[in-house]
Structure 1
Amino acid sequence: KIGEELKSINLDEIDEEEPVEHNGEYFLPVKKKIPSGSVVIWRNVSAEEKLKKLMVIDPELGIYNSKFMKDMLERELDRVNSEGSQMALALIDVDPGENGPSLSEIAQTLRKTVRNFDHVCRGDRSDFALLLFVVDPDKIDAVGHRLFNVLKKLGVDKVSIGLTLSGRSPSSEAMMKQAQRALYVVNARGGNDISIY
């Protein structure tokens, strides 16, 4: 049955680097040339894919870890710069308070708040780092306030957010430092605010 369903995939569109997901299992297509054309062998790579996910996912919170965030920031910054578009980096520190939500609840709320192509990650020097794509520079303030308000509504006692835009950053390291400076400004003022660098 799996073979029948995988057979229906257009062979010309197959990417031999990208596994195909089917019922929770992952199969990597391997194209072989034969005299009458091509044949595809489907190799089950589920174990390898699960291991890859473990390497980029924070096991406690179920979001991307800080290493993935740094790698993704570098890759995506190169892409958006070449396309002439903008992305934003938001660093978030939280103090849930005595009866506040858990970090896991906060992480899941952030995931539901951002769009499906944005990334919620563990921060390096912050609790969370968000990579936000296709951002209108004129609306970055509104984005920061929306994140702030969602977390306050969740019951987080103290929320501090530092944001920066890719257009002001020559490199991923510079972008990270700018967001860290913005977050530092908020924390120095006592938190519970946003700052944009």
Structure 2
Amino acid sequence: MNRRLATVAASLLLLAATVATAGPASAAPASAGELAAVDDFGPVSVRGGGSTVLTAAFQGFEGDPVQISVDARAATNTDPRSTTGHFHVRHVHTDGRLVADFEGDITCLAGGGREAIATGVITKGEAPWFPGTELAGTKVALSVEDNGRHGDRMGWVWGVFGQPISDCQGTVPFIRTTGGDFSVRG
């Protein structure tokens, strides 16, 4: 069991390192319109849910279905204290056994264009796949890319595996949803 946890943690660390060191291929200078959009710090929200099937990158969990739902809103992108909302995550192994099921409160929300990052704290849940793992009080980061009714993307980082997570810090939405729909405004 410890080996499986280590494999998952190593996969997440590798993913985080890859995301952290990857830079943009080429960035064109921002136009005046794009700069105005960046300065728009009005209300932001992310609502909806998505499901996916884990890929081979998640060794030992390939083929597992994962569902994530988020309902969060903030008065502005610049004041995380205005954030309210809730999240729920469910991960089941291909053999039907529960890997983890947890939910919590959103503590920070930042969005821009079609993407949003929501961080939160788990308030209750269980992770029978990882006996002895305490979930309550652990931070999570959820990221969403809204691509219309089909083809959204999502990503996540769990503090459960020792990842340091700060408010409104997350990863790129790295896996395409196979069902559901997210709506990002902001």
Q: TM-score range, shorter-chain basis?
A: under 0.3
Structure with the largest fraction of helix: 1
**Rg: which structure is higher?**
1
Structure with the largest fraction of strand: 2
TM-score by length of 1: 0.25
TM-score by length of 2: 0.26
